[in-house]
Structure 1
Amino acid sequence: MRNIYFLIILLFILILQKYPIINAQREALARLWSVQDDEIDDLIDREVELIDADHIVKRHLNDDVYSGSYIRTTDNNIIFYITDATPVNAIRNLPDVKPINHLLTFERSVNTFNLHDLKDRYRNLTRLAFQYSPELVAIFIDVTLNNIVIASYHGYYPTNREFIDAVNRQFVNPAPVFEYGNLPNTNEQHYLNDISRRTVRMRMLDGDGLCDLHQNVTCSIGFLARRNETHENVIVTSGRCDLFEQEYFFKPWGSLDVHNLIGRMDRVSKYHMIDFGIVSIEGNVEPTITIRNTDSPIYPEINIIGRNGMENNHLGIHSCKSGYFTHLTCGYLRSNEAIYFDALDPYRISYVINIENHIWDIGGPVFHYSDINNVYLSGILTGGIGNIGLATDIDKILIRGGLSLEL
């Protein structure tokens, strides 16, 4: 009996020891980094230092001797993948590099591709893809794999067979890396009710849902912007949500019903291969400049303090998104350029992120934390394949859309 009591007490102690750690990981970024919430700000500061160090070393490298770098924030380290070790000692002894040597690791690239080779291979694979027009395929450089990744859905494997065969014939030793994701589940049960023409003005946060009247399309709200010519406020989301100028309605997190009218999508980007859509604000809704994070008991709304002016070539840094289906999730920046062939037409991707996402998250904001309650906008989620998220850069949206970020 005493042994049983002892085991019960020991189990209780173990539970108490684990509980604070689990309970303290309420924020998505804490879960990504496997740290407690109160450690987030320190790691953000660490990541900023690593970004600065990455920038310093890159000034002394060229595309012929290395194939890219990858920041590992939790390890306080940057890995530089090289194809020629000759200049490493010289670089480490440079005056501006010596103070940051403890942050740097140089490793041989997995293959023999330097960055020039990778870019050339990416361009050639893209040209081949335009010949065959595959469906739901993303192509991008992965510096850690030292290769080009071709991502697609399992369900479209037969459809893209000719393209895949052509790739395997023309690109060998090594072949590109193929990654497959499962087709998204869109079988959520909708209990359609008549829309209540409410007189109550409803607050909309970035990451909330928007849909057409019959919920044939559900997407996510990206961010509030202002037209440069007319100074009217609008909502930015993905142009892939467009349904022939139909009206769009507000669909908050957790709701299967649609609520107040938002407005019409009156402009969709059809040029320059950039994805975004602009929704007018006509209904009884109150757009905000905050991001929804309702799953967090402490920071249910996150402040937007500006756009992310940082270069997007610091791979490995954190990147997060908020969306109707998977809510707020965080991941790592995997690539800074891609081409995506969807069922309509191809378009360019600014960011490839390893992040949980869903088709109903498309259009939602993509951002980078300044601290635990403030963020800089990077763009919008424009697609995904499995846990590969694809994003459009905010500056491209603002320039092409004739918009300014509303703050």
Structure 2
Amino acid sequence: MTAGHCSKHGPFNPDGSVDFYHLPWGNTVGYRLIGQMAPPNMSVVDRGFISKQNNNTDLDTVGTIVCKSGYFTHVDCGRVLSLNDVIISASDIEYSGVVKVDHMGCEGDSGAPVFPVTPEQLPGIFIAGMLTGGIKAEGFCVVVPIEMLITDDIEVLTINNLI
């Protein structure tokens, strides 16, 4: 999501949408397509939604350092231990496609955003997943990758939807 007015100068595609690219701070090359924003309706609020066309690939390598920002343990970081893993919860529910991360405090921080450590993106971040729990005795936290969370069938709720 971004401010809707970010698309007002184009350049416009034939359908009126605008392509959005990621360009790390201080770089003049290295553009990477994020996705397209349809012409926003700014009559209610200045917002625009950029469709996900390229996934963030920072959770695709074992050993990558990621951090999370949670309520109880605040910002904490760890290394990706495994990808596309399967875990079984305390209530015997099997979850597949998850990522295991070590050395992050995760108790009480479920729902915390998980992001890669990429200094060239600062002060911004790219959300790579969401913390869903962990197994303290085994020393890892469980992260659901963003591509499993943001799907075509989700409904985005904003404050305007709730009022």
Q: TM-score under structure 1 normalisation?
A: 0.23
2:132 equivalent to 1:385 = no
CA gap of 1:405–1:337, structure 2 versus 1, over 3 A, is farther
Gaps of 5+ in 1: 1-306
**Structure-2 residue corresponding to 1:352:** 100
The Cα shift of 1:401 comes to 5.1
Tell me the SS of whatever aligns to 1:399. Answer: coil
Report the count of equivalent residues: 100
Distance 1:346 1:353 in 2: 18
Q: Is the 8 A contact 1:336 1:352 kept in 2?
A: yes
The runs of at least 4 aligned residues of structure 1 exceeding 6 Å deviation read none
**Contact map agreement 1:398 1:405 (CA 8 A) in 2:** no
Cα distance in 1, alignment partners of residues 99 and 129 from structure 2: 9
1:324 aligned partner: 71
SS in 1 for 2:79: strand
Gaps of 5+ in 2: 1-53, 159-163
Local SS of the residue matching 2:129: strand
- TM-score, with length taken from structure 2: 0.53
- Alignment partner of 1:395 is 2:147: yes
1:376: which partner in 2?
Answer: 126
Higher helix share: 1
Separation in structure 2 between the aligned mates of residue 405 and residue 393 of structure 1, nearest angstrom: 20
The superposition leaves residues 305-325 of structure 1 with CA deviations (integer Å, 9 ceiling, x where unpaired) of xx9611633211111111111
Alignment of 1:3-402 (within 5 A): 309-310=56-57, 312-344=59-91, 345-371=93-119, 372-386=122-136, 387-399=139-151, 402=154
Q: Deviations over 1:78-114 (max 9, x none)?
A: xxxxxxxxxxxxxxxxxxxxxxxxxxxxxxxxxxxxx
- 1:272 corresponds to which residue? none
Query: Share of identical aligned residues, percent?
Result: 28
Q: 1:401 to 1:322 in 2, by over 3 A?
A: farther
CA shift digits 1:252-297 (9 cap, x unpaired): xxxxxxxxxxxxxxxxxxxxxxxxxxxxxxxxxxxxxxxxxxxxxx
Aligned with 1:375: secondary structure?
A: coil
Q: Which has the larger radius of gyration?
A: 1
